[in-house]
Structure 1
Amino acid sequence: MKFFIDTANLAQIQEANDMGVLDGVTTNPSLMAKEGIKGVENCKKHYVDICNIVEGDVSAEVIATDYEGMIKEGEELAALHPHIVVKVPCIADGIKAIKYFTKKGIRTNCTLVFSPGQALLAAKAGATYVSPFVGRLDDISSDGIELVEKIVSMYRYYGFSTQVLAASIRTTQHIIQCLEVGADVATCPLAAIKGLLNHPLTDSGLAKFLEDYRKVNA
Structure 2
Amino acid sequence: MPQNLLEQLRKYTVVVADTGDIEAMEQFKPTDATTNPSLITAAAQMPQYQPIVDEVLKQARDEKGESATDTDVANLAFQRLAVSFGKRILKIVPGRVSTEVDARLSYDTDKTIEQAHAIIKQYDEAGIGRDHVLIKIASTWEGIRAAEVLEKEGIHCNLTLLFGIHQAVACADAGVTLVSPFVGRILDWYKKDTGKDYQGADDPGVQSVTKIYNYYKKFGYKTQVMGASFRNIGEITELAGSDLLTISPKLLEELEKTEADLPRKLDPEAAKKLDIEKIHIDKETFEKMHAEDRMAHDKLKEGIEGFSAALVNLEKLLADRLAKLEQREPASV
User: Within 5 A, what are the aligned runs for 1:138-153?
Assistant: 138-141=187-190, 143-153=204-214
C-alpha separation in 1, matches of 2:21 and 2:14: 20
Where does residue 214 of structure 1 map in the other structure? none
Please say if residues 82 and 99 of structure 2, whose CA atoms lie closer than 8 Å, have aligned partners that are also in contact: no
What letter is aligned with 2:246? T
Where does residue 76 of structure 1 map in the other structure? 118
Where does residue 88 of structure 1 map in the other structure? 137
Where does residue 40 of structure 2 map in the other structure? 32
CA RMSD of aligned residues (A): 1.6
What letter is aligned with 2:119? L
User: Within 5 A, what are the aligned runs for 1:1-218?
Assistant: 1-17=13-29, 22-36=30-44, 39-63=78-102, 64-65=105-106, 66-79=108-121, 80=123, 81-82=128-129, 83-141=132-190, 143-179=204-240, 182-199=241-258
C-alpha separation in 2, matches of 1:13 and 1:199: 19
Distance 1:193-1:103 versus aligned 2 partners, 3 A rule: same
Distance 1:27-1:97 versus aligned 2 partners, 3 A rule: same
State the TM-score, normalized to the length of structure 1. Answer: 0.84
Query: How high is the sequence identity, in percent, across the aligned residues?
Result: 31
What letter is aligned with 1:13? M
C-alpha separation in 1, matches of 2:212 and 2:81: 36
| Alignment gaps of 5+ in structure 2 | 1-12, 45-52, 54-76, 192-203, 261-333
Superposed CA offset, 1:70-113 (max 9, x none): 11111222231321100111112111111101110111111111
Distance 1:35-1:197 versus aligned 2 partners, 3 A rule: closer
What letter is aligned with 1:71? I
C-alpha separation in 1, matches of 2:16 and 2:232: 14
Please say if residues 170 and 188 of structure 1, whose CA atoms lie closer than 8 Å, have aligned partners that are also in contact: no
Q: SS at the partner of 1:140?
A: helix
C-alpha separation in 1, matches of 2:15 and 2:223: 16
Please say if residues 99 and 125 of structure 1, whose CA atoms lie closer than 8 Å, have aligned partners that are also in contact: yes
Q: SS at the partner of 2:210?
A: helix
C-alpha separation in 1, matches of 2:41 and 2:143: 23
Please say if residues 138 and 161 of structure 2, whose CA atoms lie closer than 8 Å, have aligned partners that are also in contact: yes
The structure with more strand, counted as a fraction of residues:
1
C-alpha separation in 2, matches of 1:200 and 1:122: 36
Shift of 1:200: 7.2
Please say if residues 77 and 84 of structure 1, whose CA atoms lie closer than 8 Å, have aligned partners that are also in contact: no
Comparing 108-117 with 66-75, greater Cα deviation is found at 66-75
Shift of 1:47: 1.6
Shift of 1:43: 2.8
Superposed CA offset, 1:36-61 (max 9, x none): 26632233212211122211111111
Distance 1:198-1:72 versus aligned 2 partners, 3 A rule: same
Comparing 191-200 with 65-74, greater Cα deviation is found at 191-200
| Alignment gaps of 5+ in structure 1 | 202-218
C-alpha separation in 1, matches of 2:253 and 2:186: 24
Superposed CA offset, 1:129-167 (max 9, x none): 111100000001261000011001110111101011001
Q: SS at the partner of 1:112?
A: strand
Q: Which has the higher contact order (CA 8 A, sep 6+)?
A: 2
C-alpha separation in 2, matches of 1:132 and 1:14: 25
Q: SS at the partner of 1:141?
A: helix
Q: SS at the partner of 2:235?
A: helix
Where does residue 213 of structure 1 map in the other structure? none
Comparing 187-196 with 108-117, greater Cα deviation is found at 187-196
Q: SS at the partner of 2:136?
A: strand
The structure with more helix, counted as a fraction of residues:
2
